[in-house]
Amino acid sequence: MTHTIQPNNPETTPAPEATDIPAAAPASPSAVSGVPAALKRRIPKYSDLAPLMQFKKPEFSKEARLKRASTIWELRDIAKRRTPQAPFDYTDGAAEGEITLRRAREAFLDIEFRPGILRNVSKIDLSTEILGKPSRLPVGIAPTGFTRMMQSEGEYAGSQAAEAAGIPYTLSTMGTASIEDVAAAAPNGRNWFQLYLWTDRERSLELIERAARAGNDTLMVTVDTAVAGARLRDVRNGMTIPPALTVKTVLDASYRPAWWFNFLTHEPLTFASLSRYTGTVADLINSMFDPTLTFEDLDWLRETWKGKLVVKGIQTVEDARRVVDHGADGVVLSNHGGRQLDRAPIPFHLLPEVKQAFTADNSDAAIMLDTGIMSGADIVAALALGADFTLIGRAYLYGLMAGGRAGVDRTLQILEKDMARTMALLGVSRISELTPDHVRLLNK
């Protein structure tokens, strides 16, 4: 039964009988002075101060350092302090004026979330399915080259952290750990292999066969490197593979002894999937990759590779449709992290158009996205606008440089916490509930 409680109305409530009025209490000192007792100055007692005096012993361990990082940007700050300039800039930089990278990050900032209220968000489910298999989180690790140059644990740390998190890990053709070694390091992980098609098709076929034998279920072919982008930070740093011991690098090393100790006391860097190579990154790309690559080569790959085939480097709706017509199971909307063509299209801006096109085509091809992701909120925004999955490159490398395997774990912890909080505040408890109505692009 519902009870209605009426508010007191001083105009209608009868005044109490005179006999009911209690004797007036003596006025308190604060009432007389007009200052509440709680606001009067006094000398604090030790019993008041004791609970506040909880001085902690300073902690300088790797675990404490990583725990203090609450954002990917804070991991980046740690990484910059601990990594020599050349490898840090190789990770952090982009092509020419780095306009594309800046715009990609700004794209995620120039949105407005539109939350729903009064939803049950006591439990948040971040799991999803990508390319026919489950992933505990809607994010995987993108392929990155020369990874052991950033930190000696390199691809081993990335693949093992991905395995522990229940997400896919993608090994680059230009990785510093072999296909077989990564499979052995993360035997229960979901390992993908990223392929650059060489002018030498026999060597490409050899890599494809090795990837299949090692249990990789997805081949990700990158198609936006006909030639190398103008990565000016690398040019200015005299970046070579492996890093050269010049006067500049020796001086730089004096501030980062841990990195150099690890670098010099572990196996020398090599392209584990390739033969030994010495030279600049641009020279390697320009000498090895095939500028004659066409859609016919994609047809050859589709016939050759029996697993899932994903094309990375899609930057127009038309190309997204065409690669699916040529047999791709999914696309990665990507401008190579802004490292190839400056002023290239921004994947996050392209996403709604590709989603609309695939819906119109009744295509079930997966839409993935990378470039610019620096928080879990970025990932949630991409999912809301139509992405099936996302990939992180720099974000995980910042964690790697900050603390090896533990740093990659911390990256994924930060992103997971961000995603769960953002979804709860949006009023959704699972990824399937996210829709374009949850995000508004402010500058589009």
User: Which amino acids are annotated catalytic?
Assistant: 336
The rounded distance, in Å, linking the Cα atoms of 393 and 368 is 13
Residue found by looking up tokens 């052995």 in the block? 184
DSSP 303: H
The rounded distance, in Å, linking the Cα atoms of 340 and 338 is 6
Q: Which helix (H) or strand (E) holds 9?
A: none
Torsion of Cα atoms, 330 then 334 then 336 then 340, to 10°: 120
CB 220 within 8 A of CB 175: no
The contacts found for 312-316 with CB under 8 angstroms, 24 or more apart, are 312/143, 312/194, 312/220, 312/221, 312/222, 312/223, 312/224, 312/370, 313/222, 313/223, 313/224, 313/225, 314/223, 314/354, 315/224, 315/344, 315/345, 315/347, 315/350, 316/345, 316/350
Q: Which helix (H) or strand (E) holds 439?
A: strand 439-441
The rounded distance, in Å, linking the Cα atoms of 279 and 204 is 21
Positions of E strands within 82-237: 111-113, 128-130, 133-135, 139-141, 168-171, 190-195, 218-222
What is the amino acid identity at position 231? R
Token pair for 142: 């993108």
The rounded distance, in Å, linking the Cα atoms of 344 and 352 is 17
The helix, strand and coil proportions of the chain, stated in percent and rounded to the nearest 5, come to: 45, 10, 40
Q: Which helix (H) or strand (E) holds 110?
A: none
Phi, psi of 73, deg, nearest 5: -60, -35
CB 184 within 8 A of CB 162: no
The rounded distance, in Å, linking the Cα atoms of 215 and 212 is 5
Neighbours of 433 (CB within 10 A): 16
The rounded distance, in Å, linking the Cα atoms of 159 and 161 is 6
The rounded distance, in Å, linking the Cα atoms of 190 and 333 is 21
Positions of E strands within 44-95: none
